[in-house]
Chain A
């Protein structure tokens, strides 16, 4: 050995042809043995599969790999835990709607599973918004900056929005007719709507702050609200959402995108990583045609299933995170453990603060302001209800589908009886069974309106220009209401007269 170590390469004996052949033979033998072993294993695997009743099917293996590649290469699937409540979306049309808007609206509707109006979208400061309002606000801003004309901005919920459509003509007529009206007898008077269905404080105040910050320069701001402020607060609490939050029925659907939460996002990323591993593995297996071999194919499919199981586990973790997210602060807001009385107090405080904020914002800009408490059917003494109004107002507060979705036709006494000895069902002896949501709204009007009026007196005492229109239909016997809170054109014309009178007083006071 030591001698060999001492030899140089030149001195080493060169391998002979026999030696080389021997080595090649050994190599070929080894390769042949491996191939034979693989062959035997392949045959064995096929026999085993056949004996197990599942003969090897290379086409099926290829199919499984292809499916895995196709399905696991896609993004993280949508949250499947959301259940559609089946409410058909509203189909409000708009002549100015662009095709892009329409496409976006369609996408939006699909994204929310049809749970909200196709035009509804998340808004950072209002909770949700109607997509069409963006363009309308732009038009309002441009018009309000022109030197001529008198621009009136109306804020509030659906009644305020209806008022712009049905009552503004009468309002304009009365304003122009008044001597000393700053807009003149024939100058253009434009009424702009920044009201949205189911808006309640602080949404009106935020909408005004946003519109003013965006450059709107109105000559008069009118807020018409009250009912949604108390009614939605109660329905929110029933839904486990803070009374100050936007309508839970809309917010919870739109805000239910758990991938916005970093914890769920991290799990989404983990799921994506594991799914990508499945896809990459399937791609490699397909490229190598492992399906042609029962042995390699079985091993590959085994590994594939293992990876898929890991991805499924990640999916389960993500689902759990989704669930936790849904129960978290994003949707329900700060914890609210109070009674419905507390919820009403909270709502009325917010309504009052909203009015003060809006008045303050306007005052700081020298814009006259008027806050109107809208009338509502179930406020006792608001109106002698007609037969039709009793029938419609009791069951159609949200529409039959929504009432059903909100909890079916549970007895109103069951929902509110514990706190209200009279029970919502006793009010005017409704002719139809009240849904839980209807009962909340009736109760909200009955208990909330006296408190709103009392608060309004305080606000008026501070100098806030206020108009109590809650009794504007007190002597009207004809049918005006279409449901618990919304009324027809005749009602809006009557409301316009009250508002015009009070607005003119306020304008005159400002002029002095």
Chain B
């Protein structure tokens, strides 16, 4: 027992030591944070907290079924409006889209619709994300032209995750049936047409049917198949686990720190990869044919070359069909082949893109083998007078990281795409013989 008069100096020393330790730790952390930032900056990849936050949000958005849902607001992935449900004409749609359609119809019956210039953006998830992140840049380009300088230009995001032909054609036709007439249609597609059709075929589903992972799971009854349900349960558990991890990164502000983000994102990427592996297992289980064969559609030739031929043909036919509908309604039409990571030569891949771009084999092969065929087939469209723009090489010289998975690119990429589409769209509008506004 120490004498009472010595207590205060000992306690003070203890506090001093403690403060020293805490202070040193804080300084060490600050140094580590600063060092990490300096290291990243020297390597030409300066830390960007906002980009990290978006990266985490993008990860969350891909977790419900591995293709992002409609784009806004991405944080609300549990919003019932984003829950995908069966649709009689599109196969699958988000409940929110179906419910909001009544408001869209009301707008197109209004006087404003006749004054404004309304552009429909059709396609899959890349089109949906482009509408959210690249459409403003696109419209800025249009405003440089005297014809659009004073117009109110509105865009309507009709892209849905995993949509592919003939879905885009049917979406447009359904909109027209509801009395929704746009002034122009921008079709941005390509990847799903060659990747998802290939995946469908490997799963035993008719290639032109909607993506098997969504359609088979909904059009058949997975709850009746215990093994499938167990696989889906595991997948959902992993997906929800990654979502929780991602939310922690956002809620705890981890994304603000370069050092903490480094570790957190690594762990998140690992967990996401694990969820992807389970996604593949569910796909495999669906492919085993335990689901209703009627849901899988008509019989087809499973030879990959035949599947690719029919996919490319459907893409061409879809473009021709949309072009015909647009022509009849005086709508300007521009068809754009979207860029994609696994199309050889489309972009110098950064280490992050290599890490995050890993996808299921049928998607990678689909893009690698299908894109040259899509480019070749686009000649048929041009020959028929369809305004076509090949954006598949848009990122061919871009050294920065743009892709955050195998097919989706970030806001920077979308803004680049938006700027690139301005001129071809203006040319298509100039060539429109019977624009709606003049009728």
Residues of chain B contacted by A365 (CB below 8 angstroms): 320
Beta-carbon contact of A213 and B165 below 8 Å: yes
Number of A residues whose C-beta is below 8 Å from B?
70
The majority secondary structure among interface residues of chain B is: helix
Smallest CB gap from A133: residue in B: B298
Beta-carbon contact of A260 and B86 below 8 Å: yes
A359–B217 alpha-carbon span in the complex (Å): 35
A209–B324 alpha-carbon span in the complex (Å): 12
Beta-carbon contact of B324 and A361 below 8 Å: yes
Q: Which of B166, B178, B215, B327 contacts A209 (CB 8 A)?
A: B166
A270 to chain B, nearest CB (A): 9
A272–B210 alpha-carbon span in the complex (Å): 28
A122–B291 alpha-carbon span in the complex (Å): 13
* Known contacts A202-B173, A246-B88, A349-B178, A121 near B230 by CB under 8 Å: no
A124–B318 alpha-carbon span in the complex (Å): 16
Smallest CB gap from B222: residue in A: A259
B-contact 0/1 string along A108-123, CB 8 Å cutoff: 1001000000000110
A124–B298 alpha-carbon span in the complex (Å): 12
Asked if A97 is an interface residue, CB under 8 A from chain B, the answer is no
Q: Which of B95, B178, B223 contacts A329 (CB 8 A)?
A: B95
Beta-carbon contact of B88 and A127 below 8 Å: yes
A343–B167 alpha-carbon span in the complex (Å): 25
* Known contacts A121-B295, A127-B88, A215-B313, A329 near B232 by CB under 8 Å: no
Beta-carbon contact of A137 and B298 below 8 Å: yes
Tell me the B167-218 residues at the A interface (CB within 8 Å): 167, 169-170, 173-174, 176-179, 208-210, 215, 217-218
Smallest CB gap from B92: residue in A: A124
Asked if B42 is an interface residue, CB under 8 A from chain A, the answer is no
* Known contacts A137-B298, A269-B232, A328-B85, A209 near B99 by CB under 8 Å: no
A146–B321 alpha-carbon span in the complex (Å): 23
Tell me the A311-337 residues at the B interface (CB within 8 Å): 325, 328-330, 333-336
Asked if B80 is an interface residue, CB under 8 A from chain A, the answer is yes
Smallest CB gap from A260: residue in B: B218
A125–B169 alpha-carbon span in the complex (Å): 11
Asked if B369 is an interface residue, CB under 8 A from chain A, the answer is no
Asked if A262 is an interface residue, CB under 8 A from chain B, the answer is yes
Beta-carbon contact of B295 and A330 below 8 Å: no
Beta-carbon contact of B177 and A334 below 8 Å: no
Residues of chain A contacted by B179 (CB below 8 angstroms): 346, 349, 353
Residues of chain B contacted by A328 (CB below 8 angstroms): 85, 95
Asked if B15 is an interface residue, CB under 8 A from chain A, the answer is no
A10 to chain B, nearest CB (A): 36
Residues of chain A contacted by B85 (CB below 8 angstroms): 260-261, 325, 328-330
Tell me the A337-360 residues at the B interface (CB within 8 Å): 346, 349-350, 353-354, 356-357, 359-360
Asked if B323 is an interface residue, CB under 8 A from chain A, the answer is yes
Smallest CB gap from A210: residue in B: B166
Beta-carbon contact of B230 and A272 below 8 Å: yes
> Which of B89, B91, B236, B295 has its CB near the most chain A CB atoms (within 10 A)?
B89
Smallest CB gap from B95: residue in A: A329
Q: Which of A209, A266, A346, A350 contacts B170 (CB 8 A)?
A: A209
How many residue pairs at the A-B interface have CB separations less than 8 Å?
198
A124–B89 alpha-carbon span in the complex (Å): 6
Asked if B317 is an interface residue, CB under 8 A from chain A, the answer is yes
B-contact 0/1 string along A190-216, CB 8 Å cutoff: 000000000001110110011011110
Beta-carbon contact of A269 and B236 below 8 Å: yes
Of A23-31, A74-82, A168-176, the one touching chain B = A74-82
A163–B105 alpha-carbon span in the complex (Å): 36
A330–B99 alpha-carbon span in the complex (Å): 10
Smallest CB gap from A349: residue in B: B179
Number of B residues whose C-beta is below 8 Å from A?
70
Smallest CB gap from A336: residue in B: B102
A135–B298 alpha-carbon span in the complex (Å): 7
Residues of chain A contacted by B321 (CB below 8 angstroms): 209, 212-213, 360-361, 364
Beta-carbon contact of A350 and B178 below 8 Å: yes
B109 to chain A, nearest CB (A): 11
A138–B102 alpha-carbon span in the complex (Å): 37
Residues of chain B contacted by A360 (CB below 8 angstroms): 321, 324-325, 327-328
Residues of chain A contacted by B292 (CB below 8 angstroms): 104, 107-108, 111, 121
Beta-carbon contact of A124 and B99 below 8 Å: no
The majority secondary structure among interface residues of chain A is: helix
Residues of chain A contacted by B169 (CB below 8 angstroms): 209, 213
A212–B292 alpha-carbon span in the complex (Å): 26
B180 to chain A, nearest CB (A): 10
Beta-carbon contact of B217 and A244 below 8 Å: no
Smallest CB gap from A107: residue in B: B292
Q: Which of B83, B84, B92, B299 contacts A138 (CB 8 A)?
A: B299
Asked if B38 is an interface residue, CB under 8 A from chain A, the answer is no
Asked if B98 is an interface residue, CB under 8 A from chain A, the answer is yes
> Which of B83, B167, B313 has its CB near the most chain A CB atoms (within 10 A)?
B83
Smallest CB gap from A73: residue in B: B226
Residues of chain B contacted by A213 (CB below 8 angstroms): 165-166, 169, 208, 313-314, 317-318, 321
Asked if A257 is an interface residue, CB under 8 A from chain B, the answer is yes
A339–B55 alpha-carbon span in the complex (Å): 47
A276 to chain B, nearest CB (A): 8
Residues of chain B contacted by A273 (CB below 8 angstroms): 233
Beta-carbon contact of B229 and A272 below 8 Å: yes
Residues of chain A contacted by B328 (CB below 8 angstroms): 356-357, 359-360
Residues of chain B contacted by A75 (CB below 8 angstroms): 223-226, 229
B409 to chain A, nearest CB (A): 26
Asked if B293 is an interface residue, CB under 8 A from chain A, the answer is yes
Residues of chain B contacted by A334 (CB below 8 angstroms): 98-102, 105
Beta-carbon contact of A74 and B233 below 8 Å: no
A167–B35 alpha-carbon span in the complex (Å): 84
Q: Which of A107, A108, A131, A263 contacts B80 (CB 8 A)?
A: A263
Beta-carbon contact of B89 and A268 below 8 Å: no
* Known contacts A260-B86, A260-B217, A364 near B294 by CB under 8 Å: no
Q: Which of B89, B225, B229 contacts A202 (CB 8 A)?
A: B89
Asked if B297 is an interface residue, CB under 8 A from chain A, the answer is yes
Beta-carbon contact of B219 and A124 below 8 Å: yes
A359–B321 alpha-carbon span in the complex (Å): 11
Beta-carbon contact of A206 and B170 below 8 Å: yes
A328–B169 alpha-carbon span in the complex (Å): 25
B-contact 0/1 string along A125-158, CB 8 Å cutoff: 1111001001101100000000000000000000
Tell me the A212-265 residues at the B interface (CB within 8 Å): 212-215, 244-246, 251, 255, 257, 259-263, 265
A210–B207 alpha-carbon span in the complex (Å): 12
Smallest CB gap from B173: residue in A: A357
Beta-carbon contact of B83 and A205 below 8 Å: no
Q: Which of B165, B174, B226 contacts A74 (CB 8 A)?
A: B226
Asked if B221 is an interface residue, CB under 8 A from chain A, the answer is yes
Residues of chain A contacted by B92 (CB below 8 angstroms): 124
Residues of chain B contacted by A305 (CB below 8 angstroms): none
* Known contacts A104-B294, A259-B221, A336-B102, A134 near B299 by CB under 8 Å: yes
Query: Could you list which residues of chain A lie within 8 angstroms of chain B, going by C-beta atoms?
Result: 74-76, 78, 100, 104, 107-108, 111, 121-122, 124-128, 131, 134-135, 137-138, 201-203, 205-206, 209-210, 212-215, 244-246, 251, 255, 257, 259-263, 265-266, 268-269, 272-273, 325, 328-330, 333-336, 346, 349-350, 353-354, 356-357, 359-361, 363-365
6 inter-chain pairs at a CB distance below 8 angstroms, sorted by A residue, are A107-B292, A125-B89, A135-B298, A209-B173, A210-B208, A349-B177
Which 5 A-B pairs rank lowest in CB-CB distance, beginning with the nearest?
A260-B218, A124-B91, A127-B88, A330-B85, A364-B324
Other than the given A260-B217, A330-B87, 18 more pairs (CB < 8 A) read A108-B294, A111-B292, A124-B297, A125-B170, A203-B89, A206-B173, A213-B169, A213-B313, A257-B219, A259-B222, A265-B222, A265-B232, A329-B95, A329-B99, A353-B173, A353-B176, A363-B324, A364-B321
